Amino acid sequence: MRLELDGEACQGHGRCYSLTPTLFDADDQGHSVLLEADVPAGQESSARQAVESCPEGAIALHE
Amino acid sequence: MSETTALPANQDEQSDEALTEGIAAEAVGGDFAAMLAVPEPQQVYAGIGSAPIIVMDGNHIVGAAKSVDTLTRSHDVRGSGALGNTQSADRPLIPLDIDRPEHTKYRKLLDPIFAARAIAHLEADVRTLADELIDKFIERGHADVYDEFCAVLPSTIFLRLMGIPLSELHYFLQNKDDLLRDIDGETIAQREARYKAAGKRCYAYFNRVIDEREASGEPGDDILGRLMTAEVEGHSLTRENILDICFLLMIAGLDTVAASLSCILSWLARHPDERRRVVANPEMWPDAIEELMRWETPVPVASRTPTVDMQVGDTTVAAGTQVTVLWAAANLDPEKFTDPLTVDLTRRPNPHYSFASGFHRCLGSHLARMELRAALDQFHKRIPEYQITPGSELKYEALPVRLARPLPLSWVVPG
């Protein structure tokens, strides 16, 4: 399972790094930084939550 | 009526269609705001969002989540600035009224100042302030919580962020009201004149503060000071740039958090079982706040203007057409939210539109979330049990910002 972040689409809502800080961090501007593209075992539901929580649809999950 | 799109064909959906058309008809009349100025306007907004786009008498209204996404995620769309300057300001407010590519430059400067991590250290301050405000009314057993808590808390934080003395609070609150409130019976010309006069006072005030700081040679390490020393692409901001940002921060920051607090406290006053659940489990606050922001949508509406012809549902929106975007309707779209007309304080995911979407995402969203969390948690630690004061009537304003004012709450004072 692989996460993909569209940095152009990210507007810095910060939902991903608030809700799933093990997978995402923030840069200085508050935009998202993907920490773990390959979703570690046991974090699949967190990854899905990050995808579904993004107001911009900026995160994709490849199963 | 000139046109509606994607009218549902089957019988069950006929009532939705009628509702949508009825609401759209109201939208161009004067009663729309009155229909929404109630404790539960959600059915009205949900009706509007059930069509991809409503086109009536030249007005384009979009409430369905998918249509809102189409408009706000495009690079070929302008924000509110396409309609003119917010609150009749002399120049476009930065960054609200400007668009790409200029917008991107200013957001690179401003986003770090308002990033979640950058404002986190203020939380203790907000909690202390909340406690100080509560101290003033808790023993009384009742208060207009709008006036004594919701309005004062974010404005005080704003003054601290800007490095302006707290003694100016009432001056700013009065100017804010002059800039943002509608007054019954006032003509449009009178209202514009009032906006302009209040705007000029604010510009003159900030101008004077900047003069003083320049004269002293100490810009300060608050936001105003940071703007005075900031550079965008190697150039310092001009005096006008700084003033246009200050005015935006004031217009956007003083009223919206106050409004959000009032809507949320009013909802919790009317739903004691849900409130008790959160009070017993304060770790629920972040999700509960997201859900009540979705439900209440304190900033319900925005304007977007495509710069190219754009397909929305079955309708082609011509370049240059102003479209009214209803975040409040998109927040109730069943295609986006499971069971949207139910308030679920544990809802996740909750990709709501209450801080806008697209490149005009609310600059202060992280500050707002922190202020709401700190203020609400602190309020409920001190006053967990309260009600709308018996015999008083709740009053809501719907547009441009939804708020409950006054907010008469009462509680039992022990012993």
Q: CB-based contact (8 Å) between B353 and chain A?
A: yes
- Give the residue from B170, B233, B245 showing the smallest Cα distance to B206: B245
Cβ distance B365 to A14 less than 8 Å, yes or no, reads yes
**Alpha-carbon torsion angle B169, B173, B176, B178, nearest 10:** -130
Would you state the pLDDT for residue B180? 82
- CA–CA gap between residue A53 and residue B1 (Å, rounded): 37
User: Which tokens is B229 given?
Assistant: 């020393």
Would you state the pLDDT for residue B30? 54
User: Which tokens is B247 given?
Assistant: 């005015």
**A15 to chain B: closest CA residue:** B351
Would you state the pLDDT for residue B115? 96
**Other Cβ atoms closer than 10 A to B191:** 14
Could you list the beta-strand ranges (E) of B9-79: 54-56, 59-62, 77-78
Residue A58 pLDDT > 60:
yes
Cβ distance B116 to A18 less than 8 Å, yes or no, reads yes
- Asked if B208 contacts B168 with a C-beta cutoff of 8 angstroms, the reply is no
Q: CB-based contact (8 Å) between B350 and chain A?
A: yes
Cβ distance A57 to B73 less than 8 Å, yes or no, reads yes
Cβ distance A11 to B353 less than 8 Å, yes or no, reads no
**Could you tell me which residues are beta bridge partners of residue B311?**
B316
Per-residue pLDDT of chain B (415 residues; tens, 9 = 90+): 333 333 333 333 334 444 444 444 444 445 778 899 999 999 999 999 999 999 988 899 999 999 999 999 998 999 989 988 888 888 999 999 999 999 999 999 999 999 999 999 999 999 999 999 999 999 999 999 999 999 999 999 999 999 999 999 999 889 988 888 778 788 889 988 998 999 999 999 999 999 999 999 999 999 999 999 998 888 999 999 999 999 999 888 788 999 999 999 999 999 999 999 999 999 999 999 999 999 999 999 999 999 999 999 999 999 999 999 999 999 999 999 999 999 999 999 999 999 999 999 999 999 999 999 999 999 999 999 999 999 999 999 998 899 999 999 999 998 7
> What phi and psi, each to the nearest 5 degrees, are found at residue B400?
-75, -15
User: Which tokens is B359 given?
Assistant: 């490149």
Q: How far is B357 from chain A (nearest CA, A)?
A: 7
- Distance of CA B392 to CAs B37, B275, B405, Å? 16, 21, 12
- Asked if B305 contacts B321 with a C-beta cutoff of 8 angstroms, the reply is yes
Which of B:355-414 have CB within 8 Å of A?
A: 355, 357-359, 361, 365-366
Q: Residue B148: CB partners within 8 Å, gap ≥ 6? A: B133, B136, B137
Cβ distance B349 to A30 less than 8 Å, yes or no, reads no
- Give the residue from B292, B277, B284, B279 showing the smallest Cα distance to B382: B279
- Give the residue from B199, B141, B11, B142 showing the smallest Cα distance to B408: B142
**Could you tell me which residues are beta bridge partners of residue A4?**
A60
H or E stretch at B247:
helix B239-270
Would you state the pLDDT for residue B19? 45
Would you state the pLDDT for residue A2? 97
Cβ distance B351 to A52 less than 8 Å, yes or no, reads yes
Q: Residue B83: CB partners within 8 Å, gap ≥ 6? A: B303, B305, B322
Cβ distance B350 to A53 less than 8 Å, yes or no, reads yes
- Asked if B254 contacts B399 with a C-beta cutoff of 8 angstroms, the reply is no
Cβ distance A9 to B359 less than 8 Å, yes or no, reads no
Q: Which residue has the higher pLDDT, A18 or B20?
A: A18
Q: How far is B195 from chain A (nearest CA, A)?
A: 31
Residue A29 pLDDT > 80:
yes
- CA–CA gap between residue B362 and residue B400 (Å, rounded): 15
What are all long-range contacts of B14-17, with beta carbons under 8 Å and residues at least 24 apart?
B16/B47, B16/B50, B17/B51
* Chain B environment of A14 (Cβ under 8 Å): 116, 365-366
Minimal Cβ distance to A26: which of B69, B117, B365: B117
Q: Residue A44: CB partners within 8 Å, gap ≥ 6? A: A1
Q: How far is A20 from chain B (nearest CA, A)?
A: 12
Which of A:43-62 have CB within 8 Å of B?
A: 49, 52-57
Question: Could you tell me if the ipTM is greater than 0.95?
Answer: yes
> What phi and psi, each to the nearest 5 degrees, are found at residue B125?
-60, -45
User: Which tokens is B183 given?
Assistant: 């007054």
A41 burial level (CB within 10 Å; 0-12, 13-18, 19+): exposed
- Distance of CA B365 to CAs A11, A14, B38, B242, Å? 11, 9, 25, 21
Q: How far is B65 from chain A (nearest CA, A)?
A: 10
Q: Which residues of B310-338 are buried (b: 16+ CB within 10 A; e: fewer)?
A: bebbebebeeebbbbbbbbbbbbbeebbe
pTM: 0.92
- Distance of CA B291 to CAs A7, A50, B317, B327, B351, Å? 26, 17, 32, 14, 10
